[in-house]
Amino acid sequence: MKRAKVNQNINLKEYSDIWIIGEQREGKIHPVTIELIGEGKKLAKGIDNKVVVVVAGYEIDEEINKLLYYGVDKIIYISSPLLKNFSTDGYASSISRLILERKPEIVLVGATSIGRDIGPRIAAKVGTGLTADCTKLDIDKEDGKLLQTRPAFGGNLMATIICPKNRPQMATVRPGVMKKAAHVDNPSGYVEVVEADITEVDIKAKVVKILKSSKKTVDLTEAKIIVSGGRGVKGPEGFELIKAFAEKLGGEVGASRACVDSGWIDSMHQVGQTGTTVRPEIYFACGISGAIQHLAGMSDSKYIVAINTDPTAPIFKVCDFGIVGDLKKVIPAMIEEVERNKEFEI
Ligand SMILES: Cc1cc2nc3c(=O)[nH]c(=O)nc-3n(C[C@H](O)[C@H](O)[C@H](O)COP(=O)(O)OP(=O)(O)OC[C@H]3O[C@@H](n4cnc5c(N)ncnc54)[C@H](O)[C@@H]3O)c2cc1C
């Protein structure tokens, strides 16, 4: 395996283009890919670069072509039967070999379970650094470097990190953080199909069987309405009221980390810095104080409604509508109101 040395003396001028590592699961493109394309297009304007999406897989031509309609300049489709199912070795090796050969300036990866797995491995294989879980990306107007901002010290301050000596500049971004690229009617980009530079021996782990979880999964990133409960719900039974309200509105249930840590609700419901980043049309924060780490995951919601007994709770500083009151009284009254106004729709 070719492995570059860190701090090598590289010619930075040889590097160009912004690469998005596109993610597919069972042949379906993950929404984070569209979000990264949106961000890549924004960054590309600052350094006059092309936006290229790289997707590894097999027999997914139709999905690949759909990506052109997000206005990318090019898609590199690494196609091989060996890449039909995700494997850390297969995906990280084939993508890093392409990076070493083609020299992109910036590489963005979704901070999903797959992205978190292959991102650091690719960075190590190509001899560069990686900033994980960025919440903001920008281009330095003076020298064109990528400014990678992420929470540090438990979310109490934001650190902006640069990669001055190595290339590519690599960052992961969590789903739901960046805005999706807009659809274009007449795409001008094209697809280049390349063969994977790997063989069976490169893939040490073999997929024997794929077993689906029987647990109902929650997709908070795509939800238009989220009703979240915090420590103010007082226990697991308090989530019954939160669930009833969410159901009435056709929304999903979210939670603060305090509730997840207490075992009141599954971690897939956690919103925040170490949970999911969400941007629904309406976010109801019920019995949530508004700690900075919670706000990091939901402050981009279109409307925030807070219900809290404490009028000095920080959540009231960020909400659009605040109700000072006991959630056990306020939520049933709101459910009743929704029942009266059956035409409630987002
Ligand atoms: C590194 C790090 C990462 C973290 N990541 C996350 C994260 O991803 N997500 C997250 O949420 N937190 C995260 N936290 C934890 C965070 O700092 C807070 O501790 C947590 O968000 C508090 O949860 P809470 O608001 O539910 O509880 P509390 O802060 O205890 O607030 C409970 C609120 O409920 C109100 N209340 C009480 N009774 C009622 C009632 N009957 N009706 C209405 N209101 C009522 C109270 O007035 C209070 O404001 C992280 C912390 C660290 C250090």
> Which pLDDT score is estimated for 216?
77
> Which range among 204-218, 231-245, 264-278, 312-326 shows the weakest confidence by mean pLDDT?
204-218
Q: Does the annotation flag 76 for ligand binding?
A: no
Q: Of 271, 314, 270, whose CA–CA distance to 289 is shortest? A: 314
Residue 206 has pLDDT above 90, yes or no: no
- H/E element, 131: strand 130-134
Distances (CA, A) of 52 to 132, 267, 286: 21, 34, 42
Q: How confident is the model at residue 278 (pLDDT cuts 50, 70, 90)?
A: very high
**CB distance 273 to ligand 1 below 6 Å:** yes
SS3 44: helix
Percent of the chain with pLDDT over 90: 83
pLDDT at 3 over 80: no
In order of their start, the domains of the chain are 12-202 (3.40.50.620), 220-340 (3.40.50.1220)
Ligand 1: which residue has its CA nearest to atom 29? 289
The finding on whether 238 has its CB within 6 A of some atom of ligand 1 is: no
Mean pLDDT of 60-80: 97
Polymer length of the chain? 346
Q: What is the mean pLDDT of residues 108-134?
A: 96
* Paired tokens of 100: 């070493």
Is 274 a known ligand-binding residue?
Answer: yes
For 41-62, the pLDDT digits (tens) are 999 997 889 999 999 999 999 9
Q: Please indicate if the annotation marks 127 as binding a ligand.
A: no
Q: What is the CB neighbour count within 10 angstroms for residue 269?
A: 23
pLDDT given at position 344: 59
Using the predicted structure, report yes or no on whether residue 1 has a pLDDT greater than 50.
no
Mean pLDDT across 176-195: 95
pLDDT level of residue 257 (50, 70, 90 thresholds)? very high
As a whole number of angstroms, the distance between CA 38 and CA 45 comes to 11
Across the range 66-88, mean pLDDT stands at 96
Computed over every residue of the chain, the mean pLDDT equals 93
Residue nearest to atom 47 of ligand 1 (CA): 310
Atom of ligand 1 nearest to the CA of 229: 26
| Pocket-testing residue among 309, 326, 329, ligand 1, by greatest number of atoms within 8 A of Cβ | 309
CA neighbor of 33 nearest in space, from 42, 17, 21: 21
Query: Is the model's pLDDT at 29 over the cut of 80?
Result: yes
Helical pair 327-340 and 238-249, crossing angle rounded to 10 deg = 20
User: 122: which 2 tokens?
Assistant: 């690719």
Number of Cβ within 10 Å of residue 62's Cβ equals 8
Q: What are phi and psi of 45, to 5 degrees?
A: -60, -35
Contact 127, 4 (CB under 8 A): yes
pLDDT reading at 343 higher than 70: no
pLDDT in tens, 143-161: 999 999 999 987 788 999 9
- Sign of the Cα torsion 175, 177, 178, 179 reads positive
Instruction: Report helix, strand or coil for 260.
Output: helix
Cβ of 254 below 6 Å from ligand 1: no
Q: Tell the residue nearest (CA) to atom 2 of ligand 1.
A: 154
Across-strand partners of 170? 107, 130
203 labelled binding-site residue: no
Ligand 1 pocket, residue 230 CB under 6 Å? yes
Say yes or no: CB of residue 235 within 6 Å of ligand 1: no
The answer to whether 294 is annotated as binding is yes
251 lines ligand 1 (CB under 6 A): no
The whole-number average pLDDT for the span 96-113 is 96
Lowest-confidence range among 15-19, 30-34, 194-198, 269-273? 194-198
- What is the whole-number distance in angstroms between the Cα of residue 296 and the centre of ligand 1? 12
Q: How high is the pLDDT of residue 331?
A: 98
Label residue 66 by pLDDT band (50, 70, 90): very high
Side chain identity, residue 231: R
Distance of CA 232 from the midpoint of ligand 1 (Å): 8
Residue identifier of the C-alpha nearest atom 52 of ligand 1:
154
- Ligand 1 mean position to 269 CA, how many Å? 14
Give me the amino acid identity at 163. C
213 CA distance to ligand 1 centroid (A)? Answer: 29
CA distance linking residue 32 with residue 183, whole number of Å: 15
Distance CA 72, CA 313 (A): 44
Residue 346 pLDDT greater than 80, yes or no? no
The β-bridge relationship of strands 252-255 and 321-324 is unpaired
Does the C-beta of 34 come closer than 6 Å to ligand 1? no
Q: Which long-range contacts (CB under 8 A, 24 or more apart) does 33-36 make?
A: 33/67, 33/110, 34/70, 34/180, 34/181, 35/110, 35/173, 35/175, 35/176, 35/177, 35/178, 35/179, 35/180, 35/181, 36/108, 36/109, 36/110, 36/173, 36/178
